[in-house]
Every structure is written in structure tokens, then in C-alpha cells.
Amino acid sequence: MSSIHELSFLKEKIQELKNDGVYRKLPVLEGANESEVTLNGKRVINLSSNNYLGFASHPRLKKAAIEAVEKYGVGAGAVRTIIGNMDIHEDMEKLLAEFKREEAVMVFQSGFNCNAGTIQAVTEKGDLIISDELNHASIIDGARLSRADKTVFKHADMNHLEEVLKEKRDNYRNVLIITDGVFSMDGDIAPLPDIVKLAEKYGAMTYVDDAHGSGVLGESGRGTVDHFGLHGRVDFTIGTLSKAIGVIGGYVAGSETMRDWLSHRGRPLLFSTSLPPAAVGSIMEAVRILMSTTEYTDKLWDNAKYFKEKISKLGFDIGKSETPITPVIIGEEAKTMEFSKKLFDKGVFVSGIVFPTVPKGTGRVRCMVTAGHTKEQLDRAVEVFKKVGEDMRIL
Ligand code: PMP
């Protein structure tokens, strides 16, 4: 028998990935995450980042980060419940609550942490979590950490959700319906008004993970709840600070009671150090920009429409995307990865997404259009898609 340190059981699994054609090394980015970047030593158009508004290297955010470092240092030094809760953390949450038009906000160190910490804190044994089958991995993991029972409903299928509620509601104390606001692999928007109506009819709570709706949908990026005019009717709205906001972190917006409870039982807040001051400073500047102008969200949508129209016209299948997330569905796993590699060789970076992130046979390259792209960059990218699509006989 080999020594455990050789990790031969993992080497075998890695070989399986290679056999399936889905093995890869982590790509290395040289410099900031912008619309055109140097990746693995090659200059490419970047169609793979969540930096929707181009804020990750925005001069005002960088300046705000530097100012926060000068005043507060580089680290918070403790978890929030001990001495890591600085006045800027509180100010950031008040500003986010104002932006989201909610009573209160609690910020976590990431969107992933926020889901992991919040779901388990607001549910317990005797409760039921009902989750859309395509919800993000951090929701699935958050639900796993909860002692509540769990079940899924078919993606965005309101008949199925109602069936589940009818059958199970009365067997539980609290029921929590969880959905992504915007689904990250397909770019479709959850039927939130219908979900809220069903929740109200059956006395369930609602939880929306708006990681890809925040900074994208609604007035100046206020999110999916704002997009549908559902303020005050969703119990928990999650947003990330790592995508459109361009920095790092995640938050849950809702009531003061929710925030109060999470400050006692949101485990990532109790056991993991709070966001560094630089991040907090730049997050606040990002929110101030969004509250003062729609320039960035307007540009994002203009670019997204422009690109999607051109890609569709070529004959590619972009599924049911309603947002800047533009999946170009290829199908088979190895073919998807080959398509992505050929795009890269010709100067466009779009990562291939395959099983287990998406169902088998629905491999896709997922294009993320941002406000930072120029029309010229998008035109060049479309040309490359056309050439590779023809070469591989996809078009
Ligand atoms: N929820 C969804 C729907 C996401 O797409 C992501 C990011 N991939 C997260 C949560 C996690 O956010 P973060 O990267 O801030 O941890």
C-alpha cells in the first residue's frame, strides 16, 4: 500500500478528469481585472469576469481604499463580535441598507459566507427549506449546514413550488423558499413576483440570492427585488460585493431583527475576521457612485444587448438569458473545453463551464459582458466566435 502522502487516490481522480477532457490549471492573470487583460502570458479580451461595472479598478474606488488604509490600517484584527467591528463597517451597512431600500444590512466576508452563515442561522429542526434546483452551490452548502429538512422545486416552476407547499407546509413550523435572483449559469431571472405571492399565500418566508442581480437589475443596480417592485415583501435579500461592486464581501438585506439575530448566530461573523478597511472604503465609494448616477448600469445593458444580438444572429444558442450573463451553449463537455481553448488561442477568454457545474451535455462558454468593454472589443470578440464556430462546425 502506498503512503497516504502520495495521495494516490487523488491522482487517480485527477487522471479521470484528464481522461474526460475537463482537466485544467488555474489561469494566471497579470495585472488588474479589466476588459482586456494578460492571462497566462497572452493578451486577450476578457469575457469571463463578474466585474459587471468595471469597478474592480475604478480610480475612485482605489483612492477610497488607500484613504481607508491610511486611517484604519490593513486588517480589522478580530472577528466582528470581539473588536473587529469598526465604525466604517457599520457605516457601510447603513449605506447599503439605504441603497437597497431595506431596514438593515449585515455584511459578511463573501457572498458564499453570507449564504453559509445566514441560511443555517434562520432555520432549525422543524423547519423546511424549499430551494430552486438550479440554486448556487453556496445556497446548497448553506442549506446542508442547517438542521432543517430540505427539498427542491423544479427550476422556476411555480406549479411544482405550489405542489410542494400544498403537500408539506402544514408539517413544519417555518418554511423558507430560496431562489437565485439571476441564475448564474443561464442568466435568466427568477419569477420573483409569483414566488412571493405563493410565499404569502402559504405563510412561507422568501430568500433571494441576488449575487448577479445586484448592480445589474433595478434602478441603478438596486437588484431583482427593486426590478420587480417587491420592496418589503422579501425577507432576506443576498447581494455580493465581489461582482458588480468590484471588491469582496457579501451581505444580507432585510429587517433590523434579522441583523440583530445574525450578530449572535451568523457563524462566519463570530468565527472569521471581518472585511479589511480597504475593502470597506472602496465598497462605500462604489455604492455612492451607484446612488449618484445610472451611467454604469446603462452602459452595461447597452453593451449586453449589443453583444447578445450579434452572437444570436450568428446562430449560436444563448439559451434563455435575460441579463448580461450570456451562455453560448455547446453541449458535450470536451467539445466545450476545446471551443473555449480555441477562442483563447485567437485572443478571447471565455471560460468553459461543464458538468458538474451545469448538467451533463449542456456545456457552455459563459460570456460576461461588462460596462468596461468597448464596442470595438465586443466586435473583435464576435469575429473570433464566428471563426471558431465555423472551424468547429458549430455554426
Ligand atoms: N451566489 C451566487 C448566485 C454566485 O454566483 C456567487 C459567486 N459565484 C456567490 C453567491 C458567491 O459570491 P462570492 O464570490 O462573493 O463569495
**pLDDT by residue (tens digit) across 41-53?**
999 999 999 999 9
pLDDT at residue 22, rounded to an integer: 74
Which of 119, 210, 240 to probe ligand 1 with, by most ligand atoms within 8 A of CB?
240
Cβ within 8 Å of residue 317, ≥6 positions away: 328, 329
In angstroms, what is the span from residue 112 Cα to ligand 1's centroid? 6
- What is the average per-residue pLDDT within 181-204? 97
Q: How many degrees, rounded to 5, is the angle at CA 275 between CA 57 and CA 285?
A: 40
- What is the average per-residue pLDDT within 109-134? 98
pLDDT at residue 20, rounded to an integer: 79
> Which grid coordinates belong to 158?
411555480
Closest C-alpha to 305, from 373, 228, 203, 254: 373
- What is the average per-residue pLDDT within 159-169? 98
Confidence of residue 23 (pLDDT cuts 50, 70, 90): confident
In angstroms, what is the span from residue 243 Cα to ligand 1's centroid? 8
pLDDT over 90 (residue 5): no
Q: What is the mean pLDDT of the chain?
A: 96
pLDDT at residue 21, rounded to an integer: 73
- Please state the atom number of ligand 1 nearest to the C-alpha of residue 115: 10
pLDDT over 90 (residue 297): yes
pLDDT over 60 (residue 196): yes
Cβ within 8 Å of residue 76, ≥6 positions away: 84, 85, 86, 89, 273, 274, 275, 276, 277
What are the residue numbers of the active site?
A: 184, 212, 243
- What is the average per-residue pLDDT within 62-70? 98
Cβ within 8 Å of residue 96, ≥6 positions away: 105, 107, 239, 251, 253, 287
**pLDDT by residue (tens digit) across 75-116?**
999 999 999 999 999 999 999 999 999 999 999 999 999 999
- Please state the atom number of ligand 1 nearest to the C-alpha of residue 250: 15
In angstroms, what is the span from residue 207 Cα to ligand 1's centroid? 15
Q: Is 340 left (phi over 0), alpha (psi -120 to 50) or beta?
A: alpha
Query: What is the value of pTM for the model shown?
Result: 0.96
> Which grid coordinates belong to 14?
485527477
Give the β-pairing of 175-180 and 128-132: parallel
Where does ligand 1 bind, in terms of residues with CB under 6 Å? 110-112, 115, 136, 138, 180, 184, 209, 211-212, 240, 242, 250
Confidence of residue 149 (pLDDT cuts 50, 70, 90): very high
Give how far Cα 304 sits from Cα of 47, 229, 297, 389, Å: 11, 23, 10, 20
* Residue 177, burial from CB neighbour count under 10 angstroms (0-12, 13-18, 19+): buried
Which of 48, 51, 108, 112 to probe ligand 1 with, by most ligand atoms within 8 A of CB?
112
> Which of helix, strand or coil describes residue 15?
helix
- Please state the atom number of ligand 1 nearest to the C-alpha of residue 249: 15
> Which grid coordinates belong to 279?
475593502
In angstroms, what is the span from residue 184 Cα to ligand 1's centroid? 9
Of 3-17, 105-119, 332-346, the one with minimum mean pLDDT is 3-17
Give how far Cα 345 sits from Cα of 44, 137, 267, Å: 9, 30, 44
pLDDT at residue 356, rounded to an integer: 83
- Are the C-beta atoms of 165 and 130 separated by less than 8 Å? yes
Nearest protein CA to atom 4 of ligand 1, as residue: 211
What's at 26, amino acid-wise? L
| Domains by residue range for the chain, with CATH | 21-50+294-392 (3.90.1150.10), 59-292 (3.40.640.10)
pLDDT at residue 87, rounded to an integer: 98
pLDDT at residue 174, rounded to an integer: 98
pLDDT over 70 (residue 4): no
In angstroms, what is the span from residue 344 Cα to ligand 1's centroid? 25
Which of 184, 214, 252 to probe ligand 1 with, by most ligand atoms within 8 A of CB?
184
pLDDT at residue 219, rounded to an integer: 96
pLDDT at residue 24, rounded to an integer: 83
Confidence of residue 319 (pLDDT cuts 50, 70, 90): very high
Residue 15 CA from chain centroid, whole number: 30
pLDDT at residue 105, rounded to an integer: 98
- What is the average per-residue pLDDT within 338-365? 94
Nearest protein CA to atom 13 of ligand 1, as residue: 111
In angstroms, what is the span from residue 240 Cα to ligand 1's centroid? 7
With a pLDDT cut of 70, the percent of the chain lying above it is 99
